[in-house]
Every structure is written in structure tokens, then in C-alpha cells.
Structure 1
Amino acid sequence: MNRSGIVKKVKWLDEKNDFTVIEMLDAHSNGLFTAVGKMGPQYLGHKLNMVGKEVANPRGTGKNFEVHHYEVHQPDTLEGIYLLLCSGLFEGISSRIARYLVDTYQYDTLSLLKRDINILLSVPGVGVQTFLKIRDSYQDADLRQQAMTRLRNDYKFTFSESLAILKSAPEDAMDILTKSPYSLYRRLSNKLNFVLFDRAIIGHGWSEKDPVRIREVLNHKLRSVSGEGHTLNSYAEILNGALEYLNIDRYLVEHELQFMIEKRWLYITDANQRHLIQSQWFYAAEKEIANRIRILMEMPAEKQLLFNSNDMRLRKLKASQLNAIKAPYSHKVSIITGGPGTGKTTLLKTLLALMEEQNLTVISVARTGKAAQRMREVTGRDAVTIHRALGPTEQPDEFVFNDINPLKVDVVVVDEMSMLETLIFRTLLRSMPSTARLIMIGDVNQIPSVQPGAVFRDLIASKTIPVYWLTENLRIKKENGQLPTPIRVANGILRGHLLDVPNDDEWSFFPTKKDAETKEKLVELVSELSLMGVTQEEMQVFTPTNKGPLGVERLNSIIKGCIHPHGKSHIELGDKIMQTVNDYTLDISNGDVGKVTSVFDNWEKAKRDSPVLVAKMGSRLIEYTKKDIYNLTLAYAISGHKSQGSEYSHAIIVIPDHYFSLMDRFWLYTLITRCKKKAYLFGNENVIKKIVKSRRSHERKTLLKEQMWRFLSITNEVHK
């Protein structure tokens, strides 16, 4: 079905996936209709020729036009020309100037402006300064629009991808794309899909056998395994993966692979008789981590710690806690680990108090804002994200504090250590003075970091650092001597078993056959808890994937519909939200969760820098501008990794029939241990049993353990 219309109003735009909701003026009937689809930002007045179909409006009566394909054209109506000139695309053109131009030059307005911008001087009240501003803006916008059109129509990039390309090299992006496309990709590898980018480049005449392309494919294969958490892979898998993708002669690929090794862009090792290949970045990072820990352990501390065994606070500690609290008194670098209920929080609070009383400068850090916030809450002392502690700069990988300008601290305490990936841990170690102590605390059985590496697991497995295990559980019930049901279930999962325990006031298992049944039962539970007075802050739904019928996106929409049945599709008053990027201006971190407390009137018409809503994030009220809200997402349902560092009264875990590769026993263990009061598990029992047998996330390929052995002696100092 074909349909044409003029952009009248952009009602909603998700800049991350280009999804747009637009109020359109029908080009033929002049009636209004709503177009939805991946169209990216559109300027008022532009004419869109669209191909799609009519679909039911999910949040009301009537129908929307779902756009599958579209083309952008200059407006061909006076109303469209006026709207375009007023859209903000051209800085300096006010509604008064736009109206004068359209009334005077009618349908020739845009062509005349392009041919002779000096006609602006004929507009009453337009002086030299205004003219120059409009002229420069109009010419820049025209060039930008041409480049954007080519990127989207010829190369088939999305709006966000096209915008990233243009921003990366404002003056010569198209020239670089033509002459050195893969260098452009390397700048933007986190924003572009390699396969789609590569196809677009090949489609524009680049040789399939070009050495630069072959090397980039090899790099892509290494990046692919890092996406699974590995810092390296076998030589054979990288080579065969590249051969399968390229479909060219083997000797060409082998030649470039050897060339990259000779140039030390890649490193090859035979650790444990495994023929492994690693990028220069991860090779250097794991080697540097081991060396910097060696230096920390060998250099004497600047300030000595005196342990007072008669301190009254120590009498409240269990034997393993008391043993662990002595760690920083005996060692410059130490690890404390234990499961839920073993007293990590109590120990941390006591330890910080003891060290501060001896006039030590202590900094407490965690990987995420959520984990840092909880650290502050339970200890009553300041705690920050690692990025905040290091002092972010305009360059994403550069910090104020580094090996040249280290932190002014005596002790660094890292909580939720399992969340730290290779590169951020290397950066943290760089910022530490060699005289400082390092205390790492966490649960080694939790899922490892989102990014590549298994730092906490590898450090413990290397046996080169003293490890203190908290083995006594403080949550044993006095009435029956048993652990809470969720902890018993979680411990069973670690051993590869799904315990058959009855549902009680701490645990409920809802076995289902299909995703549709899971969704139905989930809706019933969320509605029931809400009626019981359980707030959204007290409950949290977890799922392994963003996509699919039980993914984050779909579940957020479903749960929002339960709580706000007459609500809108976008973020609104009362919604539970999550920050998706670090924003140091607002002092909020990726993963911070809050609630929308107020929404400004007519926010849809606001300018990008105008405030549109207020959200309570933790104990603070944050005012968001229109451009900032695109960094927010609904948080009724979140992924497993987003759960770390948090606890909820009601933890609700959803297991889809598919996406098995995203889940294992450690993923499920982590989510069950997020509950403070009760855990709920939904899913097919056979699927869950398979998950419980899987150890996938703890089988990451890394070389940190081997690097630790190169630089340090095995101590076998383990305290339980």
C-alpha cells in the first residue's frame, strides 16, 4: 500500500533504533493520519512517499500506517514549505521570515533560496548578521542533507548510523568512506554493524580481496569472540571463520593473518598447548594487569595499619569474617569472596570504619552506579563508580587520574568485583599509587562482566593473591536451622541441580509450557502484587534478552500496560525508568533506575535543550532535557547483567523457550540472589534444567591467569 504525506508533527522518536511516530498531513485528502516505523528524525514540512500497511493502534482506536519503506522529498505544498523553513533545520529563520518568504515566492521559495540565498536581504527586518547566520546554516544543512540522503539511500545506513558517520568526520566523511572505509569503521565499530557496513562498501566497488578488507574481517572475527566475553580464541577458529565469511583463496587470508602477527597487531601463544590468538589490546591489558598487581604487592605501603583485636565491633563477626577483615593488615592486595548472606556487607562496613579511624584515605568504587549507590546505602560512606573516581574527560578512554597522575589514596576498595571487565580493571590499576592497598570484594559465582574478561575468577584461580572465603551464612533461620528457600535453591543451582522445593512465602516456581503461558502468568502476578500494594521499586522483572516475546522491550510494554492501562507508548508520569549511558553533567550512570515524578506540558514541542521531565534517581531529583530523555528506557523489566549490585523485595525471573545461549547456572544464580524477600521463577521446567547444567559464562577464554603466573609466584594462600 502506497501513501504520501507531509510531516506535520513528530510525536515520538527513539534515536537508538530510529523508530518514529509522526503525525502526517495526507498529500491527497489533507486529512491527518499517524505513520509509525523506522524513519529516524524527520523535519516538519518534508514530503514522505511511503510503502507500508495499516495496522491497529495499540493504544487507542483507529489505525496507524506502518512504514516499511519511504523516500524523502522536498515539500510541494505551501504549508509544507512553511513548516520546513520553521522546523529548526535552518538557524535564524523565524516563523515571520518563513511566512514572508512563502507568501512572496510561493512554490519557488526553496529553489530560489538554493540558487540565490541573497533573496533573504529582501525580507523586512533581516540585517547583515541574521543574513549571514541563515546563509551559513542553510548551506551547511543542504550539504548535510545531501550526504545524509546518500548514506541512507545509496549505502542503506540507518539514520543513527549515518549521523555517527557524519559526526566522526564532518568535513570529509564521504571522502573517507570512499577512499578508506575500514578506517572509518574502526572509529565507529561500537555504532556500526560490520557485516552490513562491509556489504555496503563492497557494493560500491571495493575489492573483495583487498588486503585491508581481509585484515578487517580477521579483526571482526576476534571482536565477535570478545562479544561473547573471550579475550582470545584459537588460531584455527579465527582463520576458518574469516575464510567462511570471505569465501576467497585460503592463502590470501593466511598471508594477511601472518602479516598481522609479524606487525604485532595480533599475538599468538601456546599456553597449555593451546594455539591461541589475541589482539594487541587484550594481550597488553592482561599482561599489564599482572605486572601492576606484582608492583602493588611488592611495594611497601606508605602508611601502616595496626590491628586491634580487642575492638568491640569485631566480637559481632563470625570466624570467617574475622579472618577476612585482617586481610588488608597482612597484605597489600587481597580478595574477599562469599555468596549471599555470608556477611560481605557487614564486613565491608566494619572494615571501612576501622581503616578510616587510622587516618587512611579510602576510596570505595563499583562498576556501576547502581552498585555504588547500594554500597553507599549499606556502609553509610561515600562510594562512586570507577569512571567517576578516575575523573572522566571528553575522551572516552582517557581519565584525569592515571599512571602519570595517580589517585591520592591509601586504600582502594572494589565491591561487586565480578562485574569488572579486563580493560576497566587495567584502567583502575593504572590510577593507583604503588603504595596503596587494594581490597577486592564480590561473589565469584555471579555472572561475569558484560565486556570481555573474567578478571575476578582468573585472579582467584591463579592462586597468586591471598583469598579469603566467607563460609558462614548469617541468614540461617533460628526456628528450623535452614537457609531461606531462595538461597537453598541458588546453592543447588551452583551444584547443577534444580531443587524440588514447595512454593512458600519466600519462593514460587510457575512451570509453563510456552512463552504465551509464561506471559499470561507473569501479567497475573504483577497485577496481583500491585493490588497488594507492592510498588515497582520493590519488584523487578528479569529476562535474558532485549528482543522476542519475552524480551526486555516487549515485557516493559506489557507491564506498563498493567500498571498504566490508559497510558501512552512513550515514557510518562509515574514510569519506572533506567539511564542507559553515563552522563557526567547530570552525575548519573548507566544502569541507574528511577521514577518519573513530573512531565512538563507540551514537551513534544520543546526544543532539544529545553527541560521536559523530572525523575527521582535514588535520593536525587534530576531534570531531563528533551535530548537527554533519549538516554532513558523503561525499567519494569531489565536484563540479568543490569541486576548486579541491586536487591529487590520481589525478584521475578522469566525464562523464555529460546535464547538458551544467553543463560546458564551462574546467570540464574545471580538473579535468584537478587531477592530480599521472595523470588519467583517462570518458565519451561525442561529448559530451566538445561540452563542449570550449563557453565557457559564461566568458560571464557582468557590468558590473565597465565599472565599472573608469569609475574607472580603461586601462594596457595586460601583462607576459609
Structure 2
Amino acid sequence: NRIKKTSSNLRVINTEKAILWSEKKLNIELAQNQKIAIKESIDKKLHIITGGPGTGKSTITNAILKILEEVTLKIYLCAPTGRAAKRLSEITKKKAYTIHSLLECDFSSKGFKRDENNPLKCDLIIVDEASMIDTLLLYHLLKAIPSNAKVIFIGDIDQLPSVGAGNTLKDMIASDKVYFTKLTEIYRQAKDSKIILNAHLINQASMPDIHTDKNSDFRFIYLEDLEEIEKKILYLVEKELPKRNFHSLDDIQVIAPMKRGKVGIENLNLVLQNTLNPSSKPLFRSGRRFHVKDKVMQIRNNYQKNVFNGDIGKILHIDTIDQRLDIGFDENVVSYDFSELDEINLAYCVSVHKFQGSECPCIIMPIHTTHYKLLQKNLLYTAITRGKKLVILIGTTKALSIAVNNKEVLKRYTGLENAIRNIGSKAQEIFLPGF
């Protein structure tokens, strides 16, 4: 409410002229609903843009940046995770921060140096992958934003909510107090992608098109036997996909709905480790094996090491004398005592939740009725939208149908929606229909 009510530092601009100017500068042609989203983001102090894959969120982000850079002194781009921040930076060609680093995480207090008494010095903040922000992190972020700054949240409310408590993006929209634009139209360049078309079909509770040719970016492989599914995953990762220039570790990510079982995360990690990175001298800790060159994931925030839940890296060195190992992440190399290895899991296969906000050239996911408790529409939708070039589902059409038709999402009683509803004046919804 404080941010909404306080006027912005930015000078008033003619948004229609500015949008035309951005089209020329970026050499793009914006659709009418994209122009509306940009106009609302420029005109409103606090605005949300939500939409699925292929609806133009990245294009809109770049156009907004191009325009507001001309009238803005300081802009911050941020996202909840390191991988999401890296992706935002790749899209915009500008520096993007994790929210933790932007708020200057204080590992000694497990708090943040930036708050209402020491706010960020900026005129505009753009927050990407906003559906992943939990209630506590949103609270700290909003406290640190100066009253005169403009804030734009960008995300997809149909994905899984944050790992932590809350469902913040959906709650802000449901409150009817925050201006938002909902994008539903799929643009020309995205219409050739079966990944995107099937994601939207799934989101509408319709069965995806699984009868695709070998050159399609979406494949469904029908297998019922769990052992056969496991073997197929190993064959794809080790042999077939590398022939198509997908690197087994860097370009392929296996994700699964459940931890246990033949095609669960734990077993697939073991068999993929043995297949892709066998070792005669493994490190054994707490019943787990670690090898040099293993693909691993940080599974909880470590403020002191500046690594966070969901960060993926590779083991570079294991020192059995000093009982330490080094892991290379995107931005830095981090050392761990052997006693700290409970913070690390193998990441040849990860959960959908853990990979949210990340992307990979190729995604492989087993989908079987043994996972029926977790076969949900938003989980499947989130999973396949992680793939950039190829998505392969392996399993049964019955399991796929269960997921598509299971709209039940565990209700999160956060109180945020009502809290927002009870402050400020009613906001206007701008809904943009698709085809």
C-alpha cells in the first residue's frame, strides 16, 4: 500500500509514442495486448504481468526496460533463484540479482541489510519468476523497496507455488487490489512449438498432442513396465540424445514427481550416477555416494556460502585428508566440510518443485500411475515448461490423463489475499483474451 500510494520519481511520458519508439529500437512488432501490458506497467506504480510460455513476457520485459531506461536513474532486475536470475540476465543482457543478494543477505543474523531503515536506492524494480517467491521473502523485499520506486512483478500463476509458505503472486492478483495484466495469446514464433502448445492444452485441462513426429520438440513414449521406463531414460541420456548434440550432464535434466520407487528421484539419481559418472573411489557419507564430476544441488539456503535452495553445480574436487569437497556453481566455487554434505543432493534427477524457475535444453520426465498421488495439472504444466528444445514424457496415457484432469491443488491458507484486500482502493483488472 505504501508503494502504491506514493508517487514515482519518473517523469510522465507519452506511453503510446514510447511503445512505438521501443519497437523501432528493438526491431520488433508488438501485438495490441503486449502494448497494453507495457502501457500498464509504465503507467502504474505497482503492476503484475502473468502469462504462460510463448505469450511474450520476455519481449514485454525488454520493451519496458528500453523505455524506462530513458527516464530512470537506477533499475534493479531480480529473481528468486540463481538460475532464474541468470536466465533473466540472458534475456535482457543486463545484470540480474537473486532477491537474497539484492537485499544483501546477512548470514550472521540470517536477515537482510536492506530494509525499511536502509532501503534500496532505485527508481524501478522488475521481479521475474514471481510465482516462486514465498510470503516471508516477499515481505522482506517489499520492506526494502523505497516508497517512490516503481515495481513490476512478472510470472506465471499457473505454475506450482513457491517451495516455502504462501502463494504470493496468485494472492496479490486474487486480492483485486493490485493492477495486473493476464496474457493468454500465443505468438507466431511460439505456435510452431509443441512444448508451448501442449503446455497450454494441459493448462486448459485438455490432453496434449502426443502423436508427434521424430523432429517434434515434444515426445511421448508409451511404456508401462517401470524397469523398461528406467532403461529407456538411461538409454536416452547416455546414448540417443548425445547423438543429437545434447550433452548428458549440461543439456539434459531428468525430473520426477516422487522421491521413491523405481522411477523416483532417489533411484534414478543412483542409476544415472552409475551410468554417466562411475567412480572406483566414491565418497560415502550417510548412505550416499559422491563422485568427482557429480551433478549436485544445494537443497537449502546457506547465506554464509552464498548458495541457495535449488542451485545446481558440479563436484570439482574431493579431499579425503582435509575432509572437504569443492563444488562449482554458476557464479563461484564453494567448499564444504564433509559434515555439511546434508545440504547437498545428487541432481541427475530432481523434483519439479526444485527445478521451477530453471530451464534446460532437454527435459525427461517419467509419468506413471505409481505417482498418482502427485499427478497434478500444475505439476505437469510446470515440468514441461522447463524444456527449451525438447521435452520427453515416458509412461502411460492413463497417468497423463490423471495429471491433466487433476485440478486439485493443495490450498494454502496464507491470509495474504485478505490482508491486501483490506487496504487501499480497488484495482482494475486488465484481462487480455487469446484466440
Alignment of 1:528-607 (within 5 A): 528-529=239-240, 531-532=242-243, 533-535=245-247, 536-566=249-279, 568=282, 570-596=289-315, 598-599=316-317, 603-607=319-323
The match for 1:678 is 390
- Alpha-carbon shift at residue 629 of structure 1 (Å): 5.0
The match for 2:211 is 502
Alignment of 1:349-368 (within 5 A): 349-368=62-81
The match for 1:134 is none
- Alpha-carbon shift at residue 433 of structure 1 (Å): 1.6
Q: Which moved more, 1:322-331 or 1:349-358?
A: 349-358
Alignment of 1:598-677 (within 5 A): 598-599=316-317, 603-607=319-323, 612-613=325-326, 615-618=327-330, 620-627=331-338, 629-677=341-389
Alpha-carbon spacing, 1:703–1:444, altered in 2? closer, same or farther (3 Å): same
Alignment of 1:233-272 (within 5 A): none
Task: Kindly indicate whether the alpha-carbon contact (under 8 Å) linking 1:542 and 1:653 is maintained by their aligned counterparts in 2.
Answer: yes
The match for 1:485 is 194
Alpha-carbon spacing, 1:399–1:486, altered in 2? closer, same or farther (3 Å): same
The match for 1:690 is 402
- Alpha-carbon shift at residue 395 of structure 1 (Å): 5.1
Residues 240-282 of structure 1: CA distance to partner in whole angstroms, max 9, x if unpaired? xxxxxxxxxxxxxxxxxxxxxxxxxxxxxxxxxxxxxxxxxxx
The match for 1:340 is 53
1:401 is paired with a residue whose SS is coil
- Alpha-carbon shift at residue 523 of structure 1 (Å): 1.9
Structure number with the higher helix fraction is 1
Alpha-carbon spacing, 1:422–1:494, altered in 2? closer, same or farther (3 Å): same
Task: Kindly indicate whether the alpha-carbon contact (under 8 Å) linking 2:367 and 2:395 is maintained by their aligned counterparts in 1.
Answer: yes
Alpha-carbon spacing, 1:709–1:621, altered in 2? closer, same or farther (3 Å): closer
- Calculate percent identity across the aligned residue pairs: 31
Alpha-carbon spacing, 1:548–1:606, altered in 2? closer, same or farther (3 Å): same
- Alpha-carbon shift at residue 382 of structure 1 (Å): 1.4
Task: Kindly indicate whether the alpha-carbon contact (under 8 Å) linking 1:313 and 1:350 is maintained by their aligned counterparts in 2.
Answer: no
The match for 2:285 is none
Question: Which aligned segments of 4 or more residues in structure 1 are displaced greater than 6 angstroms?
Answer: none
What is the distance in 2 between the residues matched to 1:394 and 1:646? 25
The match for 2:4 is 297
Q: Which moved more, 1:416-425 or 1:574-583?
A: 574-583
Residues 569-593 of structure 1: CA distance to partner in whole angstroms, max 9, x if unpaired? 6322322222223344443332122
Tell me which amino acid in the other structure corresponds to 1:522: I
- Alpha-carbon shift at residue 517 of structure 1 (Å): 2.9
- How many pairs were matched up? 415
What is the distance in 2 between the residues matched to 1:718 and 1:328? 11
Alignment of 1:293-442 (within 5 A): 294-306=1-13, 307=15, 308-311=18-21, 312-313=24-25, 316=28, 317-394=30-107, 398-442=111-155
1:701 is paired with a residue whose SS is coil
Say which structure, 1 or 2, has more relative contact order (CA 8 Å, 6+ apart).
Answer: 2
Alpha-carbon spacing, 1:370–1:305, altered in 2? closer, same or farther (3 Å): farther
- Gaps in structure 1 of 5+ consecutive residues: 1-293
1:426 is paired with a residue whose SS is helix
Task: Kindly indicate whether the alpha-carbon contact (under 8 Å) linking 2:195 and 2:218 is maintained by their aligned counterparts in 1.
Answer: yes
Task: Kindly indicate whether the alpha-carbon contact (under 8 Å) linking 2:369 and 2:398 is maintained by their aligned counterparts in 1.
Answer: no
- Gaps in structure 2 of 5+ consecutive residues: 283-287
2:112 is paired with a residue whose SS is coil
Alpha-carbon spacing, 1:484–1:660, altered in 2? closer, same or farther (3 Å): same
Residues 17-68 of structure 1: CA distance to partner in whole angstroms, max 9, x if unpaired? xxxxxxxxxxxxxxxxxxxxxxxxxxxxxxxxxxxxxxxxxxxxxxxxxxxx
Q: Structure 1 length as normaliser, TM-score?
A: 0.54
Tell me which amino acid in the other structure corresponds to 2:233: L
Task: Kindly indicate whether the alpha-carbon contact (under 8 Å) linking 2:11 and 2:71 is maintained by their aligned counterparts in 1.
Answer: no
1:453 aligns with 2:166: yes
Alpha-carbon spacing, 1:352–1:711, altered in 2? closer, same or farther (3 Å): same
Tell me which amino acid in the other structure corresponds to 2:201: G
- Alpha-carbon shift at residue 659 of structure 1 (Å): 4.0
